Structure 1
């Protein structure tokens, strides 16, 4: 329901009571999910422009130039609350929604990424959520023929009761022929294409703006949206065929707030009249409120000239899709909804769209870092425990569910980033963040998320083109959460400016907390980064090559996997110097290193286990810092001749080869056999019974 102060403001502004349809429109379009009323001021501080940015934030997706003949449509969304209530359908429809955001720009979707965040796997409920969410993403992505080429899995108690399902989609479009979501001229028609409208998802936008309370609120939860990938595939083909005619003036996906959201936001520059009785329905007896606010999936709204309506209908029918001419753009700033000639809503459109009063929440800084307590377990036991942690262990049990080769663009999908062939260049993709570190240092941790994703691209010689983000937090009504949000956005902006990477779009998801489990999620500003480089596959180090460490190692254990395994505490990493990223990228581009990986979760030990499990390594410093620190801005590279690194500050730590991973430490030698590494890395797969 609308807060009392919003309702009082609307009654005063309009000078009357609101109809049922009008109340529902404001409840959804003024919700946090649609209006960003708690974060809009902060988001305006982000760097959003650049020489390659053709269309920045504010549309269904951003448009970024990839070459003279190819542009990328890039978007990122969350589907968190629905994925807890109905994990399979919530995750599947999250994929469907972000794909349609890309499609609405006239772009063909070519790749997906899925950063996912769950509670610990020792809980049967969490294992169920993981299984169902992964299955929903896999079945929908596979069904529409768009590969999931990259992802992230993070496990932390704060996500029990509120998992996060974030999805990135990338599409391709002619730089001169992309479509936008804003209506172009009064007198044009609004045509609804795709699935019939049912009652599911009613109030989905407002539901996404509330915390997940216990079962006592079950009656307030919307009926689950159910995705149909076969219908989505038809819709993709139909909308691209419509776009190819050059006659689509604007296009918008029906997502949050359903037809009311899509049509009012599309027509916001002018105005619109919507005839609810013309909408093709799946159920009889639907009320105007249900027709306008339902969030049924696989629907798109297109604006066309009156003379082109029949052509759009013909294309829809050719693809076995239903369609309806449901309204028109008018030259009066009003949003009008009619049912069989009776007006059921008549609102100032600028009040409905963009008129929500902004919120200014009290902020309260906190300090959560604790003194470091040195673990007493032997180094080998710590090493195997870290490799077995689900944040570090192999994720094949997830990735193998996805058809990652469909569309035949995939070049290299292992290790740091995904490489896809696009024209004669490489499209390189990375995603994720480290919520445990960000919780301890919100500004620095978010900045490091930008640097770490850029590091992933650098290991493949790719230059970042843009960032999209999904800013996931608990309730901003808590002062410490409001401070987290502020610091994270400022940290994101600072790192993006320093590295010259525009933030071109994204999503804000607040109120991610659960009364049922007594949890608030850790701050999770999840990053999606898109880059361009030469086509190259990631290669493993070869026997006899030198293993070299680039970057400075500090005893940063707070928020690390070592901290998760032992509870050791400690300081989280400071913001890294982004200059080292360019150094490594240049080395890779010039062919001076044969392999490169950045050090992130699990530190040097995890990197060695994954890319050089047979090696002889000598480390002179404190063994815990050398092996398990997660200082950002560090790289492990392999070179045949150290001379290739002339002018680059580095440290040779060993050579590739041998029968095991031999770690020569200052207080003794640790030998970890390949089968021990393999057993540890397969722990999560065994837990999930894959």
Structure 2
């Protein structure tokens, strides 16, 4: 085919973000120099963001085995698992870090929109969205406060407008994220298995249909922008940030799902990163067919756009469908009903070439697999980093308790509970609609969130977790701790974890130390999932998370989905009925450590380890026990022990009761049950394996019967209505004082 476009050059390849030697690789694949349009297409598809060129070889080793699995990771837009014989859960998490650093409102909003499209393109209706956020310390930096407010508003405005409940999430603050925040968005949907869509084109002779919003110049080179370090220069690249319209996305979602349910769609893909070139080439390559596109037929909102702009635009709320020609009138009728653009812009062809035409002239003609399957694959050099040792253990709480210094203990606890990493997240999630859709069983602020599965008695528990603090100390064990923490969140609701999605946020992979952190964390995550029999079904890699100030903490984010066969068996973090006194039990192998704890971080101690001990078999046994106890109706409440230790877990139970009833309960803890050691370690240290549970007198014996070496059960105290005291031996602390500190930790940043 005669290409009218001029040739691209090696210099232009470098400016477009391609690495040294990759222009020559392109020439070798094509047997000629690429046209400029082709070169631009390569810059998107061979970017780190689209090709995973520095991670795919490691990712292929991830554990992903399950009888529930409906598609292998990477085969479809999102991961999918069977809930039952008729329904599937579809879920995925992705990053929008660099766009959020440059334009936080639109960066966060379009991150939510993009992950929603990944889910509903598979025919799944989104029922829950979550987010994982990282920022610098807001008290120290005005721009951090601006980024925090605008990101939260972007997430809230988009999700609320779209009508999808924001059911939970997590947030962490550390100086390393000051210039480069992390904004990871996760969406969970439910689909009828027999009405799910695929991204794989079935063959030639089909029509390629563009649907949704018109194309503009926003987001051009967005994938390349996300594949390099943030700098003062790149922070000015606002044209690489997309602009979203949630109300339009709602229409696109409804029209898309309607077409899929009516079986009018043969294949479909979201036009996300790298826009039209990504969706068309990936669909063509997966179906092993050719595709011809005629760009003058693409609905455009700007004049004078040239082929490479059409191909690389990341304008939001757009989809690419493949349909039978005979179904065009039916498809057009659906999109006309929803007042959306729909246009036939091409066809699938014999052969394997992706051909780009405009006004009858050819600008690109190359096999789709060169853009996708033949993208370069690297495994970079690794350089191990020695683990940093932590500071000596603190004994300030121990001394205060020995002196019965109630004022001192109260001040220490209040200081910790007010810390941004330990305080209430209510100022954030109150800005989100957490109830819309009437599917919520357990909402944000507890353990994992629980949402009903439509048209069934079951429910899904969902959570998202990350711990860059642990990973920076020991990436292999830290990743295992992160998986274990997410599994505990799910188990505390009474659910059985069935699948994991991840977003791997790391720094420049060309620096050997950075790549070592990445490789170790990926291996640790996979090994933990193998032990738990929890498949990794989807994910995302975000490299280059560093600025001129240096790299962020290496932060793999884990989103886990669990299944409750009966929604009525869901366990809250706080008892719903306080008409009688409840017993508090500590369940699990309790081995707290001050090292690497948020207690040390809040007290200004240097980052260091070792990490708390972790036994994956013990974790699994505990998770299985919690599900069994929940199904038997034994547990009135449960919460896992995590950051802030036992003290924070106990306070969170009390605070959740207060927020739901308006009355502050009393909690009694017998810390002598915890064994020997500093009170600082026992109450404020961090441990794996453990849950704090509340049971009635009638159910206490059923819980105690589950005691074993892998799952120790010890009565720790009691929980009762009224009084508002935290009782530690002879020391009684007013919970109202602690609640005021905890509830106010983030409030000032959202006024």
Instruction: Settle same-fold status: TM greater than 0.5.
Output: yes
**Pairing 1:143–2:161 present:** yes
Aligned to 2:745: 684
Please show how residues 386-535 of structure 1 align to structure 2 within 5 Å.
Answer: 386-413=416-443, 414-422=445-453, 423-515=456-548, 518-533=549-564, 534-535=566-567
Cα distance in 2 for residues equivalent to 1:486 and 1:223: 29
Identify the range of structure 1 (287-296 vs 565-574) with the bigger mean alpha-carbon deviation: 565-574
Give the Å deviation of 1:659: 3.2
Is the counterpart of residue 183 in structure 1 residue 201 in structure 2?
A: yes
Say yes or no: does 1:353 pair with 2:366: no
Structure 1 residue 522: Cα displacement: 1.0
Question: Deviations 1:15-58 (Å, cap 9, x if unpaired)?
Answer: 32211111111111001111111111111111213111112311
Tell me the equivalent position of 2:100. 83
Counterpart in 2 of 1:573? 612
Residue 541 of structure 2 aligns to a residue in which SS?
strand
Deviations 1:622-645 (A, max 9, x none): 201111111111111122334221
Q: Which residue of 1 aligns with 2:42?
A: 26
The 3-state SS of whatever aligns with 1:67 is coil
Instruction: Indicate how the Cα distance of structure 1 residues 41 and 661 shifts in structure 2: closer, same or farther if over 3 A, else same.
Output: farther
Deviation at 1:585, TM superposition (A): 2.3
CA RMSD in angstroms comes to: 1.7
C-alpha distance in 2 between matches for 1:290 and 1:47: 38
SS of match in other structure, 1:636: strand
Distance of aligned partners of 1:371 and 1:120 in 2 relative to their CA distance in 1, 3 Å threshold? closer
The separation in 2 between residues aligned to 1:332 and 1:169, in whole angstroms, is 36
Cα displacement (A) at 1:377 = 4.0
2:589 equivalent to 1:558 = no
Deviation at 1:373, TM superposition (A): 1.8
- Kept in 2, the 8 Å contact 1:437–1:573? The answer is no
Shift of residue 300, structure 1, vs aligned partner: 0.5
SS at match of 1:558: coil
How big is each residue's C-alpha offset from its partner over 1:310-356, in whole Å with a ceiling of 9 and x where there is no partner?
A: 22122111110012111111121111101111110111221111211
1:585 to 611, 627, 636: 627
Assess if the C-alpha contact under 8 Å between 1:445 and 1:574 holds in 2: no
Rounded Cα–Cα distance in structure 1 between residues aligned with 2:236 and 2:423:
39
Q: Quick check: 2:595–2:611 contact (8 Å CA) kept in 1?
A: yes
Q: How far is the alpha carbon of 1:369 from its aligned partner?
A: 2.8
1:646 is aligned to 2:705: yes
**Conservation of the 8 A alpha-carbon contact between 1:112 and 1:146:** yes
- Mapped to 2, the partners of 1:391 and 1:473 lie a distance apart of 20
Structure-2 separation of matches of 1:161 and 1:590:
49
Which moves more between the two structures, 317-326 or 574-583? Answer: 574-583
Is the 2:113–2:244 contact (alpha carbons within 8 Å) kept by the matching residues of 1?
Answer: yes
Q: Please give the secondary structure, in 2, of the residue aligned with 1:267.
A: helix
Q: Quick check: 170-179 or 197-206, which moved more?
A: 170-179
Is residue 555–residue 625 contact of structure 1 (8 Å, CA) maintained in 2?
A: yes
Give the CA deviation at 1:684. 2.2
* Alpha-carbon distance in structure 1 between the residues aligned to 2:587 and 2:386: 31
Equivalent residues of 1:112, 1:169 under 8 A apart: yes
1:629 maps to: 685
Q: Which runs of 5+ in 2 are unaligned?
A: 1-15, 401-408, 655-664
Q: What is the CA–CA distance in structure 2 between the aligned matches of 1:663 and 1:226, rounded to whole Å?
A: 52
Larger displacement relative to structure 2 (7-16 or 79-88): 7-16
Paired with 1:275 and 1:615, the residues of 2 have a C-alpha distance of 69
Structure 1 residue 62 corresponds to structure 2 residue 90: no
Alignment partner for residue 670 of structure 2, among 594, 618, 636? 618
| Equivalent residues in 2 for 1:173-252, closer than 5 Å | 173-214=191-232, 216-218=233-235, 220=237, 222-252=239-269
Select the residue among 32, 50, 57 that pairs with 1:41: 57
1:544 aligns with 2:600: no
> Relative to 1, partners in 2 of residues 1:448 and 1:312: Cα closer, same or farther, differing over 3 Å?
same
8 Å Cα contact 1:270-1:331 kept in structure 2: yes
The alpha-carbon deviation at position 664 of structure 1 amounts to: 3.3
2:171 equivalent among 141, 153, 175: 153
Task: Give the C-alpha shift of residue 614 in structure 1.
Answer: 2.0
Q: Could you tell me whether the CA contact under 8 Å between 2:572 and 2:636 is conserved in 1?
A: no
Where 1:77 maps in the other structure, the secondary structure is: strand
Secondary structure class of the residue paired with 2:81: strand
In 1, the alpha carbon distance for the partners of 2:471 and 2:412 equals 23
Q: 2:723 aligns with which of 659, 673, 688?
A: 659
Report runs of 4+ in structure 1 exceeding 6 Å deviation: none
Pick from 394, 398, 410 the counterpart of residue 375 of structure 1: 394
TM-score, normalised relative to structure 2: 0.88
Separation (CA, whole Å) in 1 of partners of 2:586 and 2:391: 25
- 2 CA distance for matches of 1:549 and 1:272? 61
Question: Could you tell me how far 1:285 is from its partner in structure 2?
Answer: 0.4
Instruction: Report the CA distance shift for 1:82/1:258 in structure 2 as closer, same or farther (over 3 A).
Output: same
Q: Is the 8 A contact 1:439 1:523 kept in 2?
A: yes
Aligned to 2:13: none
Measured in 2, the distance between the counterparts of 1:93 and 1:328 equals: 29
Q: Select 2:142's aligned residue among 124, 130, 150.
A: 124
SS at match of 2:463: strand
Distance 2:281 2:78 in 1: 17
Q: How far has the Cα of 1:67 moved from its partner?
A: 1.6
- Which region of structure 1 is more displaced relative to structure 2, 441-450 or 30-39? 441-450
Residue 464 of structure 1 aligns to a residue whose secondary structure is strand
